[in-house]
Structure 1
Amino acid sequence: MSDQSILARLDALESRVAIERLISSYAQGFDSRDPELVKSLWFDDSKLLMGAFGEYEGLDAIVKAADGFWNQIRHMHHWMANVIINVDGNKATSRASLDCFIIDNEDGPTQIGGLYTDTFERRNGRWGIVIRNFELHYQTPLSGWKSKQGTDS
């Protein structure tokens, strides 16, 4: 095995780890209401395409959308699962299943499920999300749900 082959394989593995971190950081950033973390995931020309929840083009629009979600939803908890990542040099794609519990100001406790399809690029040595497209599979208000930790208030 050549040194170039080993370096290419190492780069692909490091890229995959960086992309997994972006996917998890997206969930953590939204759940913890961290605008700086959310902002760090994207490029100036990125797109967040959320279907019925809105389409946001550009970093400023994405950060503003996050703030809007935080105003509408007083608690959210994302679980990202079944992540499949394909890396090709400085570009990558992924699909990740979402299960998200929220407490919405209007609907109250609600379970949301869907699929994120993502496009990533490495620019100037940094991986970022270029396009994040969300496909909603279900949005189900949970009547009678009560928290023992106080998140239902």
Structure 2
Amino acid sequence: MDPTIQSFVDREAIRDCVARLARGEDRRSADLIRSCWWPEAMFDYGVYNGDFEAYLAWVVPGAEAIKDTQHVLGQTYIELDGAHAKAETHVISYHRVDMGAENGGEHDTCIGGRYLDTFEKREGEWRIADRVMLYDWEQDWGQAADWSTGVMGYPFTAEHFPGRAKGDFSEQWFARGAK
């Protein structure tokens, strides 16, 4: 393959891996998460670090106190070097956290930061070999909104609209195919 075209293909595969991982984290899907990391990979999130199995046990099923998450990815800067790559991806992550009744109940929080990923390409597949999370800011938005009544004064018409950590409706939606 032409080197320029191969570079585009490799960069897109890396971006796809980062997006799949965020999707897997938000749905607490061990299979999806596992498809993004090499088995011997390491991670350091500043508040927790270790090998891939420790990461997976930390994220799936996830802390019961964290009811919902959403990871919104920004730009990914990639430096390719053969079968190795470094990538920095900006992320804003939302978390609905149950702080306990004595601490105000559920809170909506948001973190802005960057993933520093070391990728390796093996047998044509890019996966993460190492990840470091950098934190740029955090904001506790206070007591969480009550989604049980809908949004902006409008009630939901079905139970599948709010939340996603477990039993996400999009899984069923994708399973129906493109037709």
> Which of the two has greater strand per residue?
1
Taking the aligned partners of 1:86 and 1:74, their CA distance within structure 2 comes to 35
Residue 96 of structure 2 corresponds to 103
Matched letter for residue 113 of structure 1: G
Q: Percent identity?
A: 22
Gaps of 5+ in 2: 100-105, 152-160, 164-179
Taking the aligned partners of 2:130 and 2:86, their CA distance within structure 1 comes to 9
RMSD: 1.8
Taking the aligned partners of 1:8 and 1:123, their CA distance within structure 2 comes to 18
Q: CA deviation at 1:82?
A: 2.1
Q: CA deviation at 1:70?
A: 4.4
Q: Could you list the structure 1 runs, at least 4 aligned residues long, displaced by more than 4 angstroms after superposition.
A: none
Contact 2:117 2:131 in 1 (8 A): yes
Contact 1:56 1:65 in 2 (8 A): no
Residue 157 of structure 2 corresponds to none
Gaps of 5+ in 1: 1-5
Structure 1's 69 and 48: CA in aligned 2 closer, same or farther, altered over 3 A? farther
1:20 aligns to 2:15 (yes or no)? yes
* CA deviation string 1:5-47 (max 9, x = no partner): x622222111111000011111111112211000111111101
* CA deviation string 1:45-94 (max 9, x = no partner): 10121002x0021x322211212634331100011102111112111111
Residue 72 of structure 1 corresponds to 65
Residue 121 of structure 1 corresponds to 120
Taking the aligned partners of 2:162 and 2:84, their CA distance within structure 1 comes to 43
TM-score by length of 1: 0.85
Structure 1's 103 and 45: CA in aligned 2 closer, same or farther, altered over 3 A? same
Taking the aligned partners of 2:127 and 2:73, their CA distance within structure 1 comes to 17
TM-score by length of 2: 0.74
Residue 132 of structure 1 corresponds to 131
Residue 141 of structure 2 corresponds to 142
